[in-house]
Amino acid sequence: MTIADSPRHPAAPSIALVATLGLAAACWPVSARLMDGMDMGIATRPGSLGFFAAVWATMMAAMMLPGAAPAVARYARAGGGVSAACLFVGSYLGIWALAGVVAFALDRPHGTSAAGAVVMAAGVYELTPIKRHFRRRCREDACSGLEFGLCCAGATIGLTAVLVALDVMSLFWMAVVTVLAGAQKLSPAKAAVDVPVALGLIGLGLVTVLEPSLVPGLTPAMTMM
């Protein structure tokens, strides 16, 4: 056991926080590299399960770790130390890896109407009691990364569905979902935050159905002959 691994060491939370954010930051360029040439809007296909699993795991680390970093630091401060915080992060990401397997299994070719319906459903989900329940749980101390991952998956499943529906290989939509998911993990569940997000998603879904050309990256650009 190193000094920083000591449950009582005052540097353990800071080390865990910096390491978590550093891993998230490192995963962004890796995600961009893996997704290069794959961004085709709603026409994007996931490729093989192995390839998709690698891309998805990297994406989730990039997107979901920033909002989870305070929880990782709290876990280290509560007595786990840096080594336990690493296990917390690993099991947290394991939940998101399983979500990726589900996303791969459910993936089907779809058009703008289906994509818009998913986005609108995600907007409605933002207003449900179960969403608020999971949002509150994401701000509480968790006994394990698995517990925290399940709560955060429940809180952000709608936003994740938006990414999958619009373009799972899009850095733009990755960034949008990262900002929204992170903000919700770090802020209390309030109507002033949740209602605008919900209405924004419902509006985006309507635009996706009615005027898909207005949605960034939704349809691949036509190549000039």
pLDDT per residue over 97-135, tens digit each? 999 999 999 888 899 999 999 999 999 999 999 998 998
Query: Is the pLDDT assigned to residue 6 strictly greater than 60?
Result: no
Q: What is the pLDDT of residue 42?
A: 87
Residue closest to 159 by CA, chosen among 136, 183, 187: 183
Please, what sign has the CA dihedral across residues 115, 118, 120, 122?
Answer: negative
CB atoms within 10 A of CB 82: 23
Q: What is the pLDDT of residue 61?
A: 96
| Mean pLDDT for the chain overall | 88
Task: Write down the pTM of the prediction.
Answer: 0.87
Q: What is the pLDDT of residue 222?
A: 38
pLDDT per residue over 11-65, tens digit each? 888 999 999 999 999 999 999 999 988 888 888 888 889 999 999 999 999 999 9
CB atoms within 10 A of CB 84: 20
Pair of tokens at residue 86: 């690493």
- Do the Cβ atoms of 218 and 208 come closer than 8 Å? yes
Q: How confident is the model at residue 7 (pLDDT cuts 50, 70, 90)?
A: low
Contacts 24+ apart (CB under 8 A), 61-64: 61/23, 61/24, 61/27, 61/93, 62/24, 62/25, 62/27, 62/28, 62/30, 62/31, 62/174, 62/178, 63/24, 63/174, 63/177, 63/178, 63/181, 64/92, 64/93, 64/96, 64/152, 64/156, 64/178, 64/181
Over residues 168-174, mean pLDDT? 92
pLDDT per residue over 147-166, tens digit each? 999 999 999 999 999 999 99
Q: How confident is the model at residue 3 (pLDDT cuts 50, 70, 90)?
A: very low
